[in-house]
Amino acid sequence: MLKFLAIRDFVIVSSLELDFSAGFTALTGETGAGKSILIDALSLALGERGDAGMVRNGCERAEIAAGFDVSGLPNLQSWLLEQELEGDAGVCLLRRVLDSGGRSRGFINGRSATLQQMREAGDQLLDIHGQHAHQSLLRPDTQRALLDGYAGVAATAEQVAALYRDWQTLRRRRISLSENAEAVIAERELLQFQRNELEGLGFDAAEWQALQEDHARLAHAASLLETAAFGIETLSEADNALLAQLNALTVRLREGITHDASLGETLQMLESAQAELQEAVYALRHYQQRLDTDPQRLREQEQRIQSVMDAARKYRVAPEQLNEALQRIVARLAELGGDADLAELEQQENSAQQGYLAAAQKLTAARKKSAVKLAREITAALQTLAMPGGSFAVALLPLAEGNAFGLETIEFQVAANPGVPPRSLAKVASGGELSRISLAIQVATSQVASVPTLIFDEVDSGIGGRVAEIVGHLLKKLGKSYQVLCVTHLPQVAAAADQQWQVSKTVENGVTLSHITVLDGEQRVEEIARMLGGVKITETTRKHAAEMLGVAA
């Protein structure tokens, strides 16, 4: 539940720190005093979008901090742990900073958080029922969400939506494949021909590199043979061959060593050179023997190279990229599938449809069961809200094929008078009736709320007298199970509260500021009297206020 709220430089609030209690708390005050600022501040702390206009005039930034006791919310504690946003045991602190330029930052337990994360946390902490919430009740999506929330099947509804999307995806693929069958067949035939052609080419990048090198040798075989023969002759077979001259020189050096030993080093170098030259001669002769000059092989290699080059030009790629072109063709063939794929796709579509229908039928059954119970509770509430004889119904209108939301649309229906068949809420309810119906719905659906804190922002507008007193009792009853806060202008509602806060507005040094005061017993009498009376509060009015508080207690 909400434990404290700190507000600084927000709209017309300079600095405010509030500690919250369990039960039903009423916020009252003069019109325009800023009663809804508290709700706006909480909304900002829970991830709602803000703007620079929310920063108090002349200040650099607004700051909101809200602390919650989450010891009874294991799901939220697990979520905080998963998001690495955990704090002290049983505590969740949300903080929002909004600067005058419109930029904002959010924090959960002192760690930076996105607005989405703050909203996800806020969804598990409190519900805010705004004073214009009844307007959204006219929308089918709001009515469906209320029923699903009341029935506890929101997760099932999401599963049904996911199954419907899967079914429709397969359906669109099957239709596309059927409508474009001729074009698909033609494309598949072309791709199959191209695949056979490239696979028949048997291109291999390593073989291509070796082929080019071998072809270069064969194409220049005669020149290479001449080069090898010239080398052999120069080194060992000519009249003045290098090896012969080197041999003669080494013989003379060996003779010279007998007279001067210092020639030994030179002799060693020449003998080493002599050995290297002899190895070169052997290598050239071996090269001569293995060099292929087969013209037939050369022609075969030239044909192979030509085939590869022709294929590369045809598919507009470099020869080295022919395998990549083949893989693209194979992948596209897999996408198009074969003739058997249409039948398989139809089978998958039927299976997906059956899965959707099975889940949607379970959802329908749960909705029907809860629709009866919800209608009964709201009808009972209407009898106490100045609509005697009125009845409420939740209609499930079947859809031919269903949609992402199930096999039916949800329609809230109401009969304002006995003996009249229920009709759509949007067509029969007046403004005042709609406000009371809205309150009855909110109270009924709030009883199954999973969040510990419920906030009502002037949802009691448009009612008064005995009905207002009943509304106060409803909120007080709700406060026994939840922490309830209500912004109200009705003394009957405020008198039923377990505690009451007064919102006031003052002008200090030409600046308008809003304040909140926690009222004690005597102060509550004065505030209730103000809400009851006119310009002048009399003793009679005070006695009436005290009596209202005593009866409510």
Distance in angstroms (rounded) separating the CA atoms of residues 148 and 157: 8
The answer to whether the CB of 56 falls within 8 A of the CB of 15 is no
- H or E element that contains 395: strand 391-403
Closest listed residue to residue 104, CA positions, set 94, 115, 89: 115
The radius of gyration computed from the CA coordinates of the chain, to the nearest angstrom, equals: 45
Q: What is the pLDDT along the chain (553 residues), one digit of tens a residue?
A: 999 999 999 988 888 898 999 999 999 888 766 777 888 899 899 998 888 889 988 899 999 999 999 998 898 999 999 999 998 889 999 999 999 888 999 999 999 999 999 999 998 898 877 655 556 677 888 889 889 989 999 999 999 999 999 999 999 888 877 777 677 778 888 888 988 988 888 888 788 887 777 767 665 665 666 677 688 778 887 778 888 888 888 888 888 888 888 888 888 898 888 889 889 888 888 876 666 656 666 677 678 878 888 888 888 888 888 888 889 988 888 877 655 567 788 899 999 999 999 999 999 999 999 999 999 999 988 888 777 888 999 999 999 889 999 999 999 999 877 888 888 887 765 656 776 787 788 778 876 767 888 888 776 666 777 888 888 888 888 888 889 998 888 999 999 999 999 988 887 777 777 788 889 989 999 899 988 876 688 888 889 889 888 887 7
* Pairing, β 104-108 against β 406-415: unpaired
The answer to whether the CB of 34 falls within 8 A of the CB of 13 is yes
Percent helix, strand, coil in the chain, to 5, is: 60, 20, 25
Phi and psi angles of residue 9, each rounded to the nearest 5 degrees, phi first: 55, 50
The answer for residues whose C-beta is within 8 angstroms of residue 304's C-beta and 6 or more apart is: 211
**Residue 113, pLDDT score:** 93
Q: Give strand pairing partners of 250.
A: none
Q: What is the pTM of this model?
A: 0.60
Give the torsion through C-alpha atoms of 55, 56, 59, 60, to 10 deg.
-10
Q: Dihedral sign, CA of 437, 440, 444, 450?
A: positive
**Residue 337, pLDDT score:** 67
Distance in angstroms (rounded) separating the CA atoms of residues 394 and 367: 9
**Residue 173, pLDDT score:** 84
CB-facing half-sphere around the CA of 171: CA atoms within 13 A: 12
The answer for residues whose C-beta is within 8 angstroms of residue 103's C-beta and 6 or more apart is: none
**Residue 432, pLDDT score:** 60
What is the DSSP annotation of 172-235? HHHHHHHHTHHHHHHHHHHHHHHHHHHHHHT--HHHHHHHHHHHHHHHTHHHHHHHHHHHHIII
The answer to whether the CB of 311 falls within 8 A of the CB of 180 is no
The SS3 of residue 411 is strand
Tokens of 99: 């600067």
* Helices and strands of the chain, counted as H and E runs: 20, 15
Q: Dihedral sign, CA of 458, 462, 464, 469?
A: negative
Report which residue type is found at 392. F
Q: Rounded to whole angstroms, what are the CA distances from 291 to 223, 237, 277, 288, 300?
A: 11, 21, 21, 5, 17
Q: In what order do the strands lie in the sheet with 391-403?
A: 391-403, 406-415, 423-424
Distance in angstroms (rounded) separating the CA atoms of residues 474 and 310: 87
Count of Cβ atoms closer than 10 Å to residue 373 Cβ? 13
Helices (H), 74-153: 74-82, 115-123, 133-136, 140-151
**Residue 105, pLDDT score:** 94
Classify each residue of 406-443 as buried b or exposed e, where b means 16 or more C-beta atoms within 10 Å of its C-beta: bbbbbbbbbbbeeeeebbebbebbeeebbbbbbbbbbb
Q: Rounded to whole angstroms, what are the CA distances from 229 to 84, 244, 278, 288, 356?
A: 80, 17, 15, 8, 85
**Residue 459, pLDDT score:** 66
